[in-house]
Each structure stands twice: as structure tokens, then as C-alpha cells.
């Protein structure tokens, strides 16, 4: 039974690391479409109201969020690496460092996911308020990208769903491990008394 559990925890730790890397890459790309289609619609960054496309100020409104989002994704990636530093992926018996790393990862993933979802969903609503007729005319005139796609905003459901699933599975893995350790101690106690 321990072999299955050890295999599961190793695969899970690597999967969580890959998910965190994907979230980091996502943080780098979330504004790609906005930059390509909206950056040159603002005439003067000091006066965001002066634009050729109504609603295009979202590109500037998202700058602070994007910076924080990038920092939080790096922190979450470091918390995933902490699982490997504490040997959570390979340790047969967990010690305090393993519980701390799983707890930090789970707390970070939960807080990060909730914060990111609320912000990204609000910005998605703001994107849908862009005047796409004006954007299409601007894109044709300037030969720039025109898109009505909200892909970069919608994909967060998948990425953060996977991140939360990984956190839940790490906690379930800890519970499974504790159960196996208890059963092992019980067997050792019975053998010692014989």
C-alpha cells in the first residue's frame, strides 16, 4: 500500500509543479491580446479618456494587477518547489517540514485562486464593454490586431481549477499517509507483543 501512496505523492508533486509553471506562463501572457489590439488606441497615457476606442483604457487599468499577478505566480511556483526541498515528493514518513510545505502551498493556492478569479472576472466584464465596432475600424485603419476573444480571461477557470485540485489532493495525500503510518504503527505494536 505504501508503494502506491509513494508513487501517487511523487506524481502529484510533479503535477503541481507543472500547474504552477503553467500559471506563471499564463501571468506572462494574459495581456498579450490587449497589448496587440488596444495599446495604440490610447493617444496620451496621461489622459486615458482620450482614446479612439471606448473602453480601451483596460490595458492601462490592468497594469497594476498584472504586476501583482506575476509576483504571486512566482511565489506559488516557489511554494511548489518547497515541496521538493522538503522531500514531500519522496519521503515515506512526513516530518514537520512536509506538513508546513503542504500547508503553505494549500493556503497560497487557495488565496491566490480566489484573488485572481475575482480580479480576472472583473476585467473580463470590462473587456466585454469595449466598443468592438470602433476597435474593428481602428484595427483596419492601423492594420493592428482585432479580436473579441476573451480566451486569456476564460482560461483562468481551467488553470486555477487545476491548482485548487492539486492543493486538495496534497491534503488528501497527507491524510492517506497519516492513515498508513497509523496502520503501520499498529502492526508493529502487534508484532512486538507476540
pLDDT in tens, the chain (194 residues): 578 989 999 999 999 999 999 999 999 999 988 888 888 887 777 777 778 888 888 888 999 999 999 999 999 999 999 999 999 988 888 899 999 999 999 999 999 999 999 999 999 999 999 999 989 998 898 888 888 889 999 999 999 999 999 999 999 999 999 998 888 878 776 665 55
What distance in Å separates the CA atoms of residue 88 and residue 101, rounded to the nearest whole number? 8
CB 117 within 8 A of CB 156: yes
Residue 145 per-residue DSSP state: -
Q: What's the rounded Cα separation, in Å, for the pair 73 and 21? A: 8
The pTM score is 0.88
Q: How far apart are CA 142 and CA 131, in angstroms?
A: 16
151: Cβ–Cβ under 8 A, 6 or more apart, which residues? 33
- φ/ψ region of 126 (left if φ > 0, alpha if ψ in -120 to 50, else beta) reads alpha
Q: At what angle do helices 2-29 and 156-193 cross, to 10 degrees?
A: 160
Cell of 90: 519522496
Total number of residues shown for the chain: 194
How does pLDDT run across 94-125, given as a tens digit for each residue?
899 999 999 999 999 999 999 999 999 999 99
Amino acid at each position: 500500500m505504501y508503494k502506491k501512496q509513494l508513487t501517487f505523492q511523487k506524481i502529484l508533486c510533479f503535477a503541481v509543479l507543472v500547474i504552477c509553471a503553467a500559471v506563471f506562463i499564463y501571468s506572462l501572457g494574459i495581456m498579450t491580446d490587449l497589448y496587440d489590439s488596444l495599446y495604440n488606441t490610447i493617444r496620451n497615457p496621461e489622459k486615458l479618456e482620450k482614446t479612439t476606442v471606448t473602453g480601451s483604457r483596460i490595458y492601462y487599468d490592468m497594469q497594476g494587477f498584472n504586476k501583482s499577478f506575476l509576483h504571486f505566480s512566482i511565489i506559488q511556483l516557489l511554494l511548489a518547489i518547497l515541496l521538493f526541498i522538503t522531500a514531500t515528493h519522496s519521503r515515506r514518513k512526513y516530518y514537520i517540514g512536509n506538513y508546513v510545505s503542504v500547508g503553505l502551498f494549500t493556503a497560497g493556492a487557495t488565496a491566490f485562486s480566489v484573488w485572481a478569479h475575482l480580479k480576472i472576472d472583473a476585467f473580463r466584464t470590462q473587456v466585454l464593454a469595449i466598443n468592438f465596432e470602433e476597435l474593428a475600424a481602428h484595427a483596419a485603419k492601423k492594420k493592428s490586431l482585432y479580436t473579441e476573444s476573451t480566451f486569456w480571461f476564460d482560461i483562468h477557470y481551467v488553470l486555477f481549477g487545476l491548482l485548487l485540485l492539486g492543493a486538495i489532493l496534497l491534503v488528501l495525500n497527507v491524510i492517506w499517509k497519516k492513515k498508513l503510518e497509523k496502520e503501520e504503527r499498529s502492526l508493529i505494536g502487534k508484532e512486538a507483543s507476540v
